[in-house]
Amino acid sequence: MASSAVVPSLLFCLVLLVSPYLAYSYPTSYTHGGKHYVLHSNSDPRQPGQTPTCSSVHSGRSSSDGVPVLHRLSPCSPLGGARNQEKATTTVADVLHRDALRLRSLRGEDNHGAPAPAPGPSAPGGGGVSIPVRGDPIEARPGAFEYHVVAGFGTPAQELTVGFDTYTSGATLLKCTPCAATEPCDQAFEPSASSSLAQVPCGSPDCPFHGCSGPSCTFSLGTNNTLLGNVTFVTDKLTLTSSATVENFRFACMEAGFRPRDNSTGILDLSRNSHSLASRASSSPGTVAFSYCLPSSPSTVGFLSLRAPKPELSGRKVSYTPLRSNPGNGNMYVVELVGVGLGGRDLSVPPTAFAGDTLVDLHTTFTYLRPEAYSVLRDNFRQWMTEYKPAPPLGVLDTCYNFTGRNFFSVPAITLKFNGGADVDMSMNGIMYFPDPGNHFSIACLAFAAAPTNAREAAVVGNRAQSSMEVVYDVRGGKVGFVPYRC
């Protein structure tokens, strides 16, 4: 190890060499020799206490990349992120609570009642639709609004802010008019204003409700005693960008009593279901069904791209891992994690610790491994970090450091190794969680945790691990790919 006097000047030279990678990162950070270095920069354009504005948001994407993806707390979000800046710095407790709810939802433990009376027909590789009979189906999907896009529904297109998710009940859910008298209605889709809307007939293979009555595919949803409203399957045109449109896109119109909790209009379904947007985005040999790049912080912009060009055809380095078949829940994409690398070396984790399904999830924040895998990662990580001052744990994040007052620090690189030789290097934001996102020289925790012992899946790769990567869903090719440093 070089002495601390030499290291900073060496770092400075390296920083100049890799400066293209620094365009949007503060503090200055880069990777070298199996380590991520973070340097204190004097050129921080932001000032402490300054309220972020939409114009200060960095867009690392180009307009051809697809529709912009915003974090729910982005100052550019139409959902009030800017209006609620005091809430924009979420507390760690809030993040951990959202993760706990999401993990429970992934395990199917929060089903309010039974699924819809009869599941819809299942296409190969696609599950049915399961909308709970009781309660609000959107409330039943906690944490599904971490990221948003603005999409156009109908003709002329009604621009609506919707969350998107790869793990859904198998249908796009949209709040529609008429709204209940007591509900705000400005963010609802108006079916009567669209010239291209068509009803799905009751009894048609596209209608998942076998209990519907009347001509249309309608089902009444309520709580135990009260009718919440009707859910009706319809088809209409979907416009993501001028070049990404889907005719006759099927979605569930939810009338009256439904209100997505964060003012968005609903959830866009990118699941493996045969009716999802992913399945409808018929891909050609040069494209994949869809891809996304999640913004690494609320102040950056990502993208969601339908029929995205295959990254390898644009000369980008992509690591693919095969999709596993998933008889348990055909709507979920599952892959297989086979190992974890730390600082350029493979950790010796018993292979059984990874056996089974791994979910790459959009709305889980941290990455959860089985306890026997997590403990190996944590113990080895701690050995690399002995020179830093430990900080108290934050909930399930039990490996924290206090970098206050330092001029630089480094952490070992972490590589997720997927089946098929896909080695995915995580960015600094994937490895460490900074409770104060504007200040890396404060408390930072390893952004991994032990999964609950009753977890069905071997691992859940959260959205921090995916930050600044393009994740490519080649549904037709049966694989998921990762393109690092893409946004």
Q: Examine residue 220 and tell whether it contacts ligand NAG (CB under 6 A).
A: yes
Q: Which of 168, 169, 218, 429 binds ligand NAG (CB under 6 A)?
A: 218
**Is residue 224 near ligand NAG by the rule CB under 6 A?**
yes
Kindly state whether residue 223 participates in binding ligand NAG, applying the rule CB under 6 A: yes
CB of 225 to ligand NAG, least distance (A): 7
Our answer to whether residue 361 is catalytic in this structure is yes
Active-site residue flag, 186: no
Size of the site for ligand NAG (CB under 6 A): 20
Distance CA 107, CA 142 (A): 13
Span near ligand NAG by CB under 6 A; candidates 76-84, 151-159, 421-429, 444-452: 76-84
Distances (CA, A) of 191 to 199, 237, 459, 467: 10, 11, 41, 36
Nearest residue to 238 via CA among 272, 266, 260: 266
The answer to whether 74 contacts ligand NAG (rule: CB under 6 A) is: no
Residue in 99, 165, 269, 357 annotated catalytic: 165
Query: In the range 249-288, which residues lie near ligand NAG by CB under 6 A?
Result: 255-256, 262-263
CB of 226 to ligand NAG, least distance (A): 9
Q: Residue 2 is encoded by which pair of tokens? A: 């070089």
80 contributes a contact to ligand NAG by CB under 6 A: yes
Q: In what order do the strands lie in the sheet with 432-433?
A: 389-391, 400-402, 443-446, 432-433
Does 230 help bind ligand NAG (rule: CB under 6 A)? yes
> Distance (Å, rounded) from C-alpha 229 to C-alpha 232?
10
Q: Which of 20, 45, 49, 405 binds ligand NAG (CB under 6 A)?
A: 405
User: With binding defined as CB under 6 A, does residue 245 bind ligand NAG?
Assistant: no
Taking alpha carbons only, the member of 54, 46, 47, 44 closest to residue 85 is: 54
At 376, phi and psi to the nearest 5? -65, -45
Task: Point out which span in 5-13, 80-88, 102-110, 272-280 binds ligand NAG (CB under 6 A).
Answer: 80-88
Distance, CA of 440 to CA of 418 (rounded, Å) = 29
* Interface pick for ligand NAG out of 79, 131, 267, 471 (rule CB under 6 A): 79
User: Which residues on neighbouring strands pair with residue 256, listed in sequence order?
Assistant: 179
Stretch that binds ligand NAG, among 96-104, 286-294, 399-407, 433-441 (CB under 6 A): 399-407
User: Contact between 383 and ligand NAG (CB under 6 A)?
Assistant: no
Interface with ligand NAG includes 84 (CB under 6 A)? Answer: yes
Could you tell me the smallest distance in angstroms from the CB atom of residue 80 to ligand NAG? 3
User: Looking at 222-230, 293-301, 325-333, 353-361, which segment touches ligand NAG (CB under 6 A)?
Assistant: 222-230
Site for ligand NAG contains 402 (CB under 6 A): yes
Residue 259 beta carbon to ligand NAG: minimum distance, rounded to whole angstroms: 10
Closest contact distance (angstroms) between CB of 184 and ligand NAG is 7
**Contact map string, positions 323 to 362, toward ligand NAG, x by CB under 6 A:** ----------------------------------------
Interaction site with ligand NAG (CB under 6 A): 79-80, 83-84, 213-214, 218, 220, 223-224, 230, 255-256, 262-263, 391, 402, 404-405, 443
Active site residue ranges: 165, 361
